[in-house]
Chains A and B, each alone.
Chain A
Amino acid sequence: MKTLAAAVVVLSLLTGCGGVAKAGPSATATTVKNCGIDVTVDGPPQRVFAAYQPAIEMVHALGISDRLVGTAYLDAEVLPQYAAAQQGRKYYKNLPSREELLSQNPDFVLSGFNDVFSSAGSDSSFGSRKSLSDLGVQTWIFSPLCPTADGKGDEAIDPSTVSMNNVYADLRDLGKLFNVSDQAETVIADQQKRIAAVEAKVAGAPKPTVAILRPGLEGGGLTVSGGPDFGTVLIRQAGGVNAFADLTSKRNVKISVEEFIKRDPDYILISGCCDAGLTEAQVQPDVQKILANPAYANLKAVRNKHVVPWLFAHHSAGVRGANSTELIAKLIHPDLVK
């Protein structure tokens, strides 16, 4: 019966007898800008595809989990408060192809990582945002990851966009698009309150240097979070300094082992990644490797046992911001933040 009704509507539209000529956005349309691109919806999107951890958690935080038609690529377990909402959602361990994505018939793709819309990114591509909007699929990249142009990815982040304020702006804009502004404001208020509380406690305290290290990547060298990584913001909020903030070519910067030793950070967070069931406990073996390596034995962080398991998911821009800020603050200012 539904199909029949739809067929009638389509036919009447085709023959021009529908009466509702759809040229351009209608009166009910909402438009907001994201990374310089206009995102326009006719009423709240109903079929959302969320790619990567931050996007999936953002959808749950906004309370629109029931609109998810698919989720992909978790870096770790979702936050406990979203576990129930994530339970039973369609989930892809790896990023689906463009065709697979489109077969889920989404009307909105929310991505927590920019490379997915990039033409030469590290992750298999959904195609550029324009190519999706041509098909009627609206898209969203988290603002702290905005590339300088559509089709570009992680190598083209504008460092000035990497801030918690842009996470809030995203929440507000998405709240508008999805007609859940109240929930968005609730989330923002909670994040702001918790981060302000941490900042108040650590204000004036000495700022230790913190390195976020991806274990075991790339032929003998190391991969650390550089300046444009959101970890820089989180460490700053927690009263520390990213030991590699001056390396700004990419979020994840490759460096030599010797460079790492030279910088001698006060704290080393071992950033485990990329499995839906990953927890900090599973990162412990990589921590042991660092502690047992004689080349690192003289590092402050190693001598003081300040090498700790961490999750890549913790330092992605998104609604984990407050949680991660608290975790880092507890670690580097244990006397000030309990």
Chain B
Amino acid sequence: MTRSWGGRAAGLLVACVVLLGVVLLSLLAGNQWFGPHDVYVAAADFTGSDTDRVIRYLRFPRTAAGLLAGAALGLAGAVMQGITRNPLADPGILGVNAGAALAVVAAIGLLGVQSLTGYVWFAMGGALIATVVVYLVGSVGRGGATPVKLALAGAALSALLGSVTSAITLLDLSTLNEFRFWVVGSLTMATGGIVTQALPFIAAGIVLALTLGSSLNQLALGEDLAATLGTRIGLVRVLAALAVMLLAGTATAMAGPIAFVGLAVPHVARALVGADYRWILPWSLVLAPTVLLLADVVGRLVARPDELQVGIITALIGAPLFIALVRRRKLAEL
């Protein structure tokens, strides 16, 4: 792919068109296939038929949730990879999503918090705490916070937090069964209301993350050089952490912990447009929801009359990529 400004912009436009196509596919595909006209009727000329209701109350919110969660996770992953200069950084792998999920389940199950606007704060708090713990644990010992050590610390913490989440959901089967999806992410629990409530948080996170491009580029040169070039490293770190909290926290509050999207997509973006974060970030923003929605469509079709949760599909696609990345020798070279 050409690396000129025009080439990258044109490529991004193509990616946007592909995303639109996938959005349409997500509205049409599933247990029953619908036509574009059905979607139009459900949106503009609602008659209350089963088809209208399935599209309006199941496929619209689910697709919107996929768009938002995908964009959020892709951007969060790109920001995390940039700020930690760690190719294995991903809100799923580094325990951020697991922390958010546990905080949400605790808020719902133990404190009785009901709406997303109520528990999204817990999700962000849980995300932040998990991030700090993983970073502290991963920094112990020789060599500091190497990528693999951070990933291991993240995996260990994710397992720990995930088992606590399971324990809480199992304590009270009758009321908490519906929150089992906090163990593996899914787009099916999102309703129109939840998506609307999540939108402002994710929009704020997207805006914040997109402003970090140049700073991340300078950080990529090394902290000393970045400081010489005038980057306020402390401020950039705080802003990046804030963006990740908003993005990964809200995405998890809406769709549960979905792993690997935030890992894989920035790498694909990097392969397409090079190491410039001013391009990696918007490309991740567009590619990640494309991938997530495709994974969700696959999950709907492969196990009919049941569905596979989207978190299972992303793990199936993402895990081999993760292994390939770990096995690459020059791991620390972001």
Contact residues in A for B56 (Cβ distance below 8 Å): 294
Contact residues in A for B306 (Cβ distance below 8 Å): 221, 253-256, 259
- A220→B188 contact, CB < 8 A: yes
Per-position contact with A for B165-180: 1 when CB-CB < 8 Å, else 0?
Answer: 0000000011001101
Any chain B CB within 8 A of the CB of A219? yes
In the complex, A261 Cα to B189 Cα: how many Å? 16
- B49→A217 contact, CB < 8 A: no
Any chain A CB within 8 A of the CB of B203? no
| Known contacts A258-B30, A294-B57, A298-B53, A219 near B174 by CB under 8 Å | no
Contact residues in B for A2 (Cβ distance below 8 Å): none
With beta carbons under 8 angstroms apart, the residue of B49, B174, B178, B184 that contacts A275 is: B174
In the complex, A218 Cα to B186 Cα: how many Å? 10
Contact residues in A for B4 (Cβ distance below 8 Å): none
| Known contacts A259-B31, A273-B174, A298 near B50 by CB under 8 Å | yes
- A261→B305 contact, CB < 8 A: no
Cβ distance B22 to chain A, nearest Cβ, rounded Å: 19
Any chain B CB within 8 A of the CB of A216? yes
Cβ distance B25 to chain A, nearest Cβ, rounded Å: 15
| Known contacts A219-B188, A295-B58, A297-B53, A256 near B307 by CB under 8 Å | yes
How many residues of chain A get a CB closer than 8 Å to chain B's CBs? 30
With beta carbons under 8 angstroms apart, the residue of A215, A255, A274 that contacts B305 is: A255
- A219→B31 contact, CB < 8 A: no
Contact residues in B for A293 (Cβ distance below 8 Å): 57
Contact residues in A for B183 (Cβ distance below 8 Å): 219
- A259→B178 contact, CB < 8 A: no
| Known contacts A272-B174, A298-B53, A256 near B305 by CB under 8 Å | yes
Interface residues on B, range: 20 to 34
| Known contacts A257-B58, A295-B58, A262 near B186 by CB under 8 Å | no
In the complex, A275 Cα to B31 Cα: how many Å? 34
Contact residues in B for A259 (Cβ distance below 8 Å): 31, 304-306
Contact residues in A for B53 (Cβ distance below 8 Å): 261, 294-298
Any chain B CB within 8 A of the CB of A264? yes
Cβ distance B91 to chain A, nearest Cβ, rounded Å: 19
CB proximity to A under 8 Å, residues B180-219: 180-181, 183-184, 186-189
Any chain A CB within 8 A of the CB of B267? no
Any chain B CB within 8 A of the CB of A180? no
Contact residues in B for A272 (Cβ distance below 8 Å): 174
| Known contacts A220-B186, A295-B57, A261 near B50 by CB under 8 Å | yes
- A258→B31 contact, CB < 8 A: yes
With beta carbons under 8 angstroms apart, the residue of B177, B187, B256 that contacts A218 is: B177
Cβ distance B276 to chain A, nearest Cβ, rounded Å: 38
- B173→A274 contact, CB < 8 A: yes
Nearest-neighbor residue (CB-CB) of B188 within chain A: A220
Any chain A CB within 8 A of the CB of B48? yes
Any chain A CB within 8 A of the CB of B228? no
Contact residues in B for A274 (Cβ distance below 8 Å): 173-174
- A256→B300 contact, CB < 8 A: yes
Any chain B CB within 8 A of the CB of A169? no
In the complex, A338 Cα to B253 Cα: how many Å? 48
- A256→B256 contact, CB < 8 A: no
With beta carbons under 8 angstroms apart, the residue of B49, B173, B174, B309 that contacts A220 is: B309
In the complex, A160 Cα to B211 Cα: how many Å? 65
Cβ distance A114 to chain B, nearest Cβ, rounded Å: 20
Any chain B CB within 8 A of the CB of A247? yes
Any chain A CB within 8 A of the CB of B32? yes
With beta carbons under 8 angstroms apart, the residue of B174, B256, B307 that contacts A221 is: B307
With beta carbons under 8 angstroms apart, the residue of A220, A262, A298 that contacts B31 is: A262
- B186→A219 contact, CB < 8 A: yes
CB proximity to B under 8 Å, residues A272-311: 272-275, 278, 293-299
- A220→B305 contact, CB < 8 A: no
CB proximity to A under 8 Å, residues B258-272: none
Between A219, A258, A297, the greatest number of chain B beta carbons within 10 A of the residue's beta carbon is seen for A219
23 A-B residue pairs with CB within 8 Å: A216-B178, A217-B177, A218-B181, A219-B180, A219-B183, A219-B186, A220-B309, A221-B188, A221-B307, A255-B306, A256-B305, A256-B306, A256-B307, A257-B188, A258-B58, A259-B31, A259-B304, A261-B53, A262-B50, A272-B174, A273-B174, A278-B174, A298-B49
**6 interchain residue pairs of minimum CB distance:** A220-B188, A219-B181, A216-B178, A258-B31, A295-B57, A259-B305
Please give the residue numbers on chain A whose beta carbons come within 8 Å of chain B beta carbons, in ascending order. 215-221, 247, 253-259, 261-262, 264, 272-275, 278, 293-299
Contacts A256-B304, A261-B53, A295-B54 supplied; 14 other A-B pairs, CB < 8 Å: A215-B177, A218-B177, A221-B188, A253-B306, A255-B305, A257-B188, A258-B30, A259-B304, A262-B31, A264-B50, A273-B173, A274-B173, A295-B57, A296-B53
Please give the residue numbers on chain B whose beta carbons come within 8 Å of chain A beta carbons, in ascending order. 30-32, 48-50, 53-54, 56-58, 173-174, 177-178, 180-181, 183-184, 186-189, 256, 300, 304-307, 309
